[in-house]
């Protein structure tokens, strides 16, 4: 379909071409669609439309819809529809991202509860939490010895930044391995962090005693509830 744009003079229109006349500001359409006279090779623009101060947009093609008296879309209508679609998209994208993040946080919360339960079960069976240095020391990447001893399946690793936990310790200020803390970072959004602990020594805890599962949000540790509020 030929396309012609001219601001110096009106183009010569052939019979069957569609003619659109748009003012320079591109927001007002002076002529929606006009069909040249089939009995003359003179363009409708040359005879009917002022040439000075305007741009002529000519689309070549058959005008069967016009001959059937079917109404088409004007340029303004198309622009309005595009604007509406743009606004809807701009509104929906943040909502979709928020929903996706909420789903990731919810999945991470479920895994964190399983990890917390695994540490508690390990403590019941061994009268202490896993060591931080001496064997069997807790491994940030494999979650041993919780995995090999059947306390946890290790599925959370795929959700963590770097595929492993950030840090772990079992402080001795309440007795040998009588406390523990584990910090995790969400791979989907590294700004989201988690603390699983029974200790007052966790770096994210700031010296406060925490026992449970917490999300680090806005500089504050918030207990994870169901449903997760993020």
Alpha helices per DSSP H over 19-129:
44-48, 64-67, 75-126
Q: What is the pLDDT of residue 52?
A: 40
H-assigned helices in the chain: 44-48, 64-67, 75-126
DSSP bridge pairs for 130:
none
15 to each of 157, 167, 221, how far by Cα in Å? 69, 77, 74
Determine the longest span between alpha carbons in the chain, in angstroms. 104
User: Measuring CA to CA, which residue among 63, 50, 77, 65 is closest to residue 18?
Assistant: 63
* pLDDT at residue number 66: 46
101 in Cβ contact with 230 (< 8 Å): yes
Query: What does the pLDDT profile of the chain (230 residues) look like in tens digits?
Result: 333 334 444 444 444 444 444 444 443 434 434 444 444 444 444 334 443 443 344 333 434 444 454 566 788 878 888 888 888 888 888 888 888 988 899 899 999 999 999 999 999 999 999 998 877 789 999 999 999 999 999 889 889 999 999 999 998 877 788 999 999 999 999 989 999 999 988 888 888 888 999 998 778 888 887 556 66
Distance CA 54, CA 57 (A): 10
pLDDT for 196 equals 94
Which residues have CB under 8 Å from 53's CB, separation 6+? 24
Predicted confidence at residue 226, as pLDDT, reads 56
Rg (alpha carbons) of the chain, rounded to whole number: 35
**Rounded to two decimals, what is the model's pTM?**
0.59
User: Could you give the CA distance from residue 222 to residue 60 in angstroms, rounded to a whole number?
Assistant: 64
């Amino acid at each position: 379909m030929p396309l012609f744009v001219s601001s110096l003079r009106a183009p010569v229109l052939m019979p069957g071409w569609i003619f659109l006349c748009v003012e320079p500001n591109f927001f007002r359409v002076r002529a929606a669609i006009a069909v040249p006279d089939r009995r003359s090779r003179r363009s409708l623009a040359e005879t009917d439309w002022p040439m000075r101060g305007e741009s002529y947009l000519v689309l070549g093609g058959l005008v069967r819809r016009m001959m059937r008296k079917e109404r088409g879309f004007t340029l303004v209508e198309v622009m309005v529809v595009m604007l509406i679609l743009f606004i809807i998209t701009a509104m929906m994208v943040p909502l979709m991202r928020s929903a996706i993040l909420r789903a990731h946080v919810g999945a991470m919360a479920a895994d964190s509860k399983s990890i917390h339960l695994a540490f508690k079960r390990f403590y019941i069976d061994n009268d202490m939490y896993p060591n931080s240095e001496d064997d069997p020391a807790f491994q940030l990447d494999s979650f041993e010895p919780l995995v090999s001893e059947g306390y946890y399946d290790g599925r959370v690793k795929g959700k963590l930044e770097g595929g492993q936990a950030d840090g772990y310790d079992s402080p001795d200020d309440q007795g040998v391995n009588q406390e523990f803390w584990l910090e995790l970072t969400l791979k989907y959004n590294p700004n989201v962090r988690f603390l699983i602990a029974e200790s007052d020594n966790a770096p994210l805890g700031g010296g406060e005693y925490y026992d449970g599962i917490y999300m680090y949000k806005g500089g504050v540790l918030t207990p994870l509830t169901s449903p997760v509020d993020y």
